[in-house]
Structure 1
Amino acid sequence: MNSRKPSIHFKIFYVLFICYALVAPDRMFAQDFKFFNGRKAQTIGFDLKKSLIIIPIYINDKGPFDFILDTGVNPMIITDTTLKESLKVPYPRAIKISGYGNFEGIDAFLGATSVKIGDAEAENIPTVFLKDDILPISGFVGKKIYGLIGYNFFNSFVVKVDYTSRVMRFSSHPKKIKLKGEKIPLELIDNKPYVKLRVEQEGLAPQTLKVLVDCGASHAISLEALDAKPFPKPQLTMEANLGNGLTGRVKGRIGRVALLGFGNFTFKDVISSYPEYNIDSLSNRGRNANLGAEILSRFNTIYDYQNRYMYIKKNEKFKRPFEHDMSGIELYAESGPPSRTFINKIEPESAADLVGLKEGDEIISINFKKIDDYSLDDIGAIFKAKNGYSVIVEVWRDKAFIIKLLKLKKRI
């Protein structure tokens, strides 16, 4: 049994943020979504995995395909390498995608597709097809994902995301809509939304930061740059694999900020990522940080790109504590049938390392409940439940079943 997989426990942000360096799509491609059946608005359900919004879409009259809806994406990105041929995309042109630290670039194709979301349709959407399967998003979220879509959809409607009910309502701009929540100014740069945040951190004066709003990033906040230098870290941090991008692993550290202010709302003791990038990459980025879904999902949110505002109203998840994984286990899920879940990485000196769990172990059960009864989100919640909490993990290794008693250990 060859269960070893490439390291893919990435925050979705790190996939996308390198993709932002894509060639700018030709203006002739850009098209808006429209209703052609007399509708002015529509409500559809979405799936929520790792706090990421997953919606079904149709491409060139085929589908449905599950895509991550992401405010940080432009153009649409198809990560499933089999779709380019099956969708019969006319005349895609070969391009190179540049990533930080990668001077040769990544091979991809740029084309145009017709896309349908609910009853809304758009033609000639600029679409990037990755040539190689280098972004295994499906293993991260535990569900087959074909790609990511963002700007063209958000720019076409007023979009309300209700994380509590897991429904999304999108309305044409001429329609009068009651916009509820605190009004936050948006700045669109390169078709991506930015807001101002307040951050207080140990050893640093209070800062007002310019941050990318990225609902396709699973983290809370990623602090990248300050005064064209890497963002200062608090005294207590730990080394972490922050994700995989087009150029490989993104290394860095995880710590906490004492306070994060978003509009009139404040969060305390927030888990924060500090990625390592070279100085040139930081100085050219034009932002300080990336605000992800671990914060955004605590609000029911309305995006109004046309008028340059977003609206936030706290929901039932608002007071959920910020905790990092206490097991030291990085998971990879293979879609089935049968579905299988593997240990992809073990953090040194973590709870899992101390009891002898190993990379490549296939998880069979947790607390005597078979693994098929859990989603990756369920497992994640168990592994960061409480410092000192005991978890019984059964794995398959070398043609034998092994049971380990894992005692969770808070590391940050």
Structure 2
Amino acid sequence: MKKAFSVALFILLLIGESKGQIATFKYVHYDSQIFIKVRLNDETDTLNFIFDSGAGNTVIDLNTAKKIPSLSVDTGAGISATGAGGAQKVFLISNYAIIHLGNIQLGSVPMIAMDLLHLSEQFGRKIDGIIGYDLLKSFLTEMNTDDSTIYLYSFKDKIKAKYKSPLSFKFYSNIPIVQCAFKLKNGAEYSGPFLFDTGAGITAFINTPYVRANGLLKKSGSAIMHTTENLTTSSTSYDVRIRGFSIQHNTFNDLIISLTDVKEGVNAMKDITGILGNKIILRFNILFDYSNRRIYLSPGRQYETPFESIFSGLSFRIKDQKVLINSVVPQSVEERLGIIAGDELLSVNGNTTKEMYAIKKYFKIPGEKNIVVVRSKRNNEIATYKIENRKIL
């Protein structure tokens, strides 16, 4: 989430017609993120961008930008970008970019460059950039989660007629804010404004001031401390199970949300209750109408899919082609076995895959007894553990 620029975005269409459906392109849903392919300027290589409604500006990875001759990175003009966990120095691209998406071009797009390595490590996939507002403000944008396709229309198109009542929103730094509500297991109900963020791979975050003002951590019962890698830094949160979460007339029951504990960044803001993420958002087919500040939601195929529980105390990241333990839940079986953050995961059930999605899948099957081989960070010794997936939240 970035500080907004006031530079106009000009749309260059490769087709002459400006009404009706303008373009379509596929996306890849990987580990709760939406990846799309883009090209910049006259470059022939495609780049992996995250489609993120929580991105107020278009971002390119600093190292990727330096490798593109047509981009000029002003490394002497660092500014501060505020994310869910805090602030990080970013750099302006002194010349505007032309972004190719499917059969269209977005021209004169202002971009900022920042180091996205930590995000690539988190998802185990190279992330070259992030795009959100600059696309969504330019087209009536439909994200069909049933067929993994994004459709772009003229804002005058009648596609809105197939959707029911719209969800009104306001902007915060070019990011939509919608009203949501949630109910704790003890029956206590809360509501407020949430950022509508397709770049957040969670159900929902509750901001730290709201958590503290309402004593949510104490009222929620069992909680698991968790470390999350955000756009700008890492942060601490507590996963808790709640009775229900609602957006518009849609209520989802028995799910886990995260109560944040941070000192800076978006999650430390007092005037926002929290962030709504993809584990709820992607249960809908979505139509973004930024010209009228409306979002239309229609239940998709995943609408009634049960939410995941937590069966493992481990989280992972990819660094230098190695799978590393990113964090270990305190008092978990894994911690009692002596596994610590920084240990290297060599294999699970004999599989040495570096695909993050495949690794996580092993630890989501209830009752599965995984053979986990780990190289210790402390003494470089290799140990083998048999760990059964047991529900911890």
Fold agreement, TM-score > 0.5: yes
Deviation at 1:320, TM superposition (A): 2.6
* SS of structure 2 residue aligned to 1:316: coil
Tell me what 2:221 maps to: 235
Select 1:381's aligned residue among 337, 361, 367.
Answer: 361
Distance change >3 Å, CA 88–CA 311, structure 1 → 2: same
Deviation at 1:126, TM superposition (A): 1.5
Distance change >3 Å, CA 281–CA 122, structure 1 → 2: closer
Tell me what 1:38 maps to: 16
Deviation at 1:341, TM superposition (A): 2.3
Distance change >3 Å, CA 256–CA 325, structure 1 → 2: closer
The 2-side partners of 1:228 and 1:347 are apart by 22
Select 1:253's aligned residue among 234, 238, 241.
Answer: 238
Select 1:109's aligned residue among 62, 70, 92.
Answer: 92
Tell me the amino acid that sits aligned with residue 367 of structure 1. N
Spell out the pairing of 1:2-401 with structure 2 (5 A cutoff): 16=1, 20=2, 22=3, 24-25=4-5, 27=6, 29-38=7-16, 40-62=21-43, 63-84=45-66, 86-90=68-72, 92=74, 94-97=77-80, 99=82, 106-111=89-94, 112-130=96-114, 133=115, 135-177=117-159, 179-189=161-171, 190-202=173-185, 205-224=188-207, 225-226=209-210, 229=213, 232-233=216-217, 234-246=220-232, 248-278=233-263, 286-334=271-319, 339-368=321-350, 370-372=351-353, 375-386=355-366, 388-396=367-375
Say if 1:222 and 1:274, in contact at 8 Å, map to a contact too.
yes
Say if 2:60 and 2:112, in contact at 8 Å, map to a contact too.
yes
Tell me what 2:388 maps to: 407
Please provide the CA RMSD for this pair: 3.1
With 101-110 and 162-171 compared, the bigger mean Cα shift is at 101-110
Deviation at 1:268, TM superposition (A): 1.1
The 2-side partners of 1:54 and 1:354 are apart by 37
Tell me the amino acid that sits aligned with residue 36 of structure 1. L
Distance change >3 Å, CA 217–CA 196, structure 1 → 2: same
The 1-side partners of 2:359 and 2:144 are apart by 24
The 1-side partners of 2:58 and 2:214 are apart by 29
How many pairs were matched up? 381
Distance change >3 Å, CA 351–CA 322, structure 1 → 2: farther
The 1-side partners of 2:253 and 2:86 are apart by 40
Say if 1:84 and 1:129, in contact at 8 Å, map to a contact too.
no
The 1-side partners of 2:374 and 2:24 are apart by 42
Tell me the amino acid that sits aligned with residue 407 of structure 1. E
The 2-side partners of 1:115 and 1:101 are apart by 26
User: 1:90-112 CA deviation, whole Å, 9 max, x = no partner?
Assistant: 47461320548999962523532
Tell me the amino acid that sits aligned with residue 114 of structure 1. I
Query: What TM-score, normalized by structure 2, do the two folds share?
Result: 0.85
* SS of structure 1 residue aligned to 2:70: coil
The 2-side partners of 1:104 and 1:200 are apart by 31
Say if 1:60 and 1:87, in contact at 8 Å, map to a contact too.
no
Deviation at 1:55, TM superposition (A): 0.3
User: 1:41-68 CA deviation, whole Å, 9 max, x = no partner?
Assistant: 2221111112211001111222311000
Deviation at 1:271, TM superposition (A): 0.9
The 2-side partners of 1:105 and 1:378 are apart by 31
Deviation at 1:281, TM superposition (A): 7.1
The share of aligned pairs that are identical, in percent, is 22
* SS of structure 1 residue aligned to 2:135: helix
Q: Unaligned regions of 5+ residues in structure 2, if any?
A: none
Distance change >3 Å, CA 68–CA 179, structure 1 → 2: farther
Deviation at 1:127, TM superposition (A): 0.7
Q: Unaligned regions of 5+ residues in structure 1, if any?
A: 1-15
Deviation at 1:290, TM superposition (A): 0.6
The 2-side partners of 1:54 and 1:127 are apart by 18
Distance change >3 Å, CA 328–CA 151, structure 1 → 2: same
Tell me the amino acid that sits aligned with residue 35 of structure 1. L
